[in-house]
Chain A
Amino acid sequence: MKFEKLVKGGLAAVMALSMAACSGSGSSADTSTPAANDGAATDAAAPAETTAAAGAFKLGLSGPLTGGASVYGQAVKNAAEIAVEEINAKGGVQFELTMEDDEHDAEKAVNAYNALKDWGMQISLLTVTSAPGAAVAQMYQDDSTFALTPSGSSLAVIYQDATNAANPYGNVFQMCFTDPNQGVASADYLSANPQLGSKVGIIYKNDDQYSIGIHDKFIAEAAEKGLEVVSDEAFMGEDNDFNVQITKAKDAGADILFLPIYYQPASTILKQANDMGYKPTVFGVDGMDGILSMEGFDTSLAEGVYLLTPFSADASDDLTKNFVAKYQEKFGETPNQFAADAYDCVYAIAQALEAAGCTSDMSNADLKDALVQQFTSMTFNGLTGTDVNWNTNGEVSKAPKAVVIENGVYVGAEG
């Protein structure tokens, strides 16, 4: 009897051991993961066998490929693939690209970062979205890996102390404007173009960091530039009745309506303002990008809307035309600004690597030093801007492009 119990107890130990074996098998399982990724990366990067040459740099990133924000992740993935394919075809610098899914979640982004690290990532496009980017930026610094994010726009992505914009990581750079800089750029644009109007009404979302960040900087910059803000109203959450806010702006005589918000609430505001017979000049930021492709929205309401976006797919320069055509041919849709930012990121890194004469057998830390040196001194011309340069904090400086919607398409605005 006692022996039976002992044996049963022994079984317990066996089970425990099998668990240990389970965790042990983890390390063997993950050696196969990089191999699988390698294959996928080569498939993704180019149909031909030209990639994964001996001297290819391992370029990694994570972004939401599943879940609510997957539209952004997918756009970045597609554009980065096109860029890598083009650069590899040219000869010279070669890339091998791997993108891991982070589900727009900080915890998963850390896992994704470590999966990339196991794969042997040398240079990174960090993350597509801000919160995951902020979660991994510290790890990139600890491991001395260079990162250039296409669209992680929050200050927390490049600053350890985001509240005071202090202690920059130094190795993390942005291709997009930081949220606050969009506010500054908007105020600058409006003050430089007085023909649009002189009295500004603002409607923003005060439980969204993106909107608050732009709003606060806009107010500060507007005061400096002498722009008159006549009404400043907020909304929260999923509100969809903006009549109060619009009426206040209207009564205050605002002839510019500044909307530092995403396109869904903006579309409702446009509709309700129109119903009221109120026709100010509407000015939005990059969150407004997407309003024309929104389902069930009467795009005629968006006529004459100005928005600050780094990229418009209708631009007539060769670079944009070529990129848009390739993207449409390959993926059957028009690229958005996330795609354009990602495309520029890969080209900027390629340019910096070439200029610094880096080789793929250099250590991550050496690559980082060389790239930081290049990025803080070079200028770059891409889809999202010309004469783009970066400061030592990692913030980008490029001329903001304003577009105006005419006949349902973006047209570059004068000024």
Chain B
Amino acid sequence: MKTNKNIFAKLFSREYRSRLISFLIIIVGYVAIELLMATGNLSSMFQSLLVPVTCYIVAALGLNLNVGVSGELNLGQAGFMCIGAFSGVCVSGALAGIIPNGIIRLLIAIVIGALLASLFGILIGVPVLKLQGDYLAIVTLAFGEIIKSLINNVYVGFDSNGFQFSFVENKLKLTPGGKALISGPMGATGTQRIATFTVGVILILAALAIIYNLIYSRSGRAIQACRDNRIAAESVGIHVANTKMLAFVVSAALAGAAGALYGLNYTTLIPSKFGFNLSILILVYVVLGGLGNMTGTIISTIVLVLLPELLRGLQDYRMIIYSVILILTMILSNNEKVKTFAAGLRKKLTGNRTKEAAADE
């Protein structure tokens, strides 16, 4: 009995509480949405938003690990998503004949997308993370653009002889029955849509588990130490470059996984989708949700992805209202007065409840 109580106490302790909240939000949200879908109460528009929301959440969680926890600005999250998306589409297209089951193919595509993205993460991270300063921001910014232009000029096909590549000009000679997977600026067309909301939710839960386990591990403390004081961290024997690399690569891998899920949710995918704007958009989700705050990231991503769709009724004024709301939230969420007010409100609420609870006892 006593041990039970201890576990309970531990679960709800300050350290675990924030983790529990993020998991609970996802699980309760998932159950609620599944119930709504089963009873036919969810409009098709909302159903079409489910998968992209999960993709953006995973990419934003990854970015928050890099920007919030490790303190390195990354402006190329969309580039990593791009790698994940197009490799995922290729893998799924190539395996279509061998593995008819969509879910298994989706999972393989996600894993390969994550691996490829982390490979690129390592390639970039090795030289850049040894430097001090904002180099990572500049290099990832360039990286995102390079990947975009690269895929704009790549032609990939798959036929009975395996993969075929060609660059700049479409020189693919596919045997009958072969399929062009990526055709340059036209991107990937005719992709089989195998992404599902359930897999997206599982991916979010996995991302949360990975991130929390990393943050609260020895390596995670080291990552935060490097962020807070590089010299002090070095003085106690932490290898700063390697430590930052860990956060950066995990972040890239999550973006790759999110990209693969995203790519397999649409029949067409063009590389220009993954431009600088998308990287900034994901950064906005992270900043609005709070640096290092995973629960906040989840909530802000959901709100900001849904907002423009909920505002469709406003017709022409939609994007104006959206930007105004975005600016207001950014200002208000950092306003001292609003913060004090919210803190006071919270204190009042929890204070009262504790008293009631104490009285009950």
Contacts and interface: CB of A to CB of B under 8 A. Distances in A.
A30 B168 contact: no
B200 to A, nearest CB: 14
Contact of B268 (A15, A27, A30, A106): A106
B268 A134 contact: yes
A67 B266 CA distance: 21
A36 interface: yes
Given A3-B361, A19-B28, A33-B312, A138 B33 contact: no
Interface in B85-126: none
Interface residues of B, number: 69
A36 B317 CA distance: 13
A37 B313 contact: yes
B330 interface: no
Given A12-B20, A161-B190, A30 B32 contact: no
Contacts of A107: 52, 266, 273
B42 A207 contact: no
B48 A137 contact: no
B315 interface: yes
Nearest to B10: A5
B315 to A, nearest CB: 5
B267 A134 contact: yes
Contacts of B174: 163
Nearest to B16: A9
Nearest to B155: A163
B46 A27 contact: yes
Interface of B is mostly: helix
Given A27-B42, A207-B185, A115 B28 contact: no
Given A156-B186, A207-B185, A9 B268 contact: no
A206 B32 contact: no
A13 B11 CA distance: 13
A206 B183 CA distance: 12
Contacts of B21: 12, 15-16
Interface of B: 5, 8-9, 11-13, 17, 20-21, 24-25, 27-29, 31-33, 36, 41-49, 52, 152-153, 168-170, 174, 179-180, 183-187, 189-190, 193, 266-270, 273, 299, 302, 306, 309-310, 312-316, 318-319, 349-350, 353-354, 357-358, 361
19 contacts: A7-B350, A9-B11, A11-B350, A15-B25, A16-B21, A27-B46, A29-B310, A32-B313, A36-B313, A66-B319, A105-B273, A106-B266, A107-B52, A107-B273, A110-B48, A113-B48, A115-B312, A131-B270, A162-B183
Interface of A: 2-9, 11-13, 15-17, 19-20, 22-24, 26-27, 29-33, 36-37, 40, 65-66, 100-101, 105-107, 110-111, 113-115, 117-118, 131, 134-135, 137-138, 154, 156, 160-163, 206-209, 212
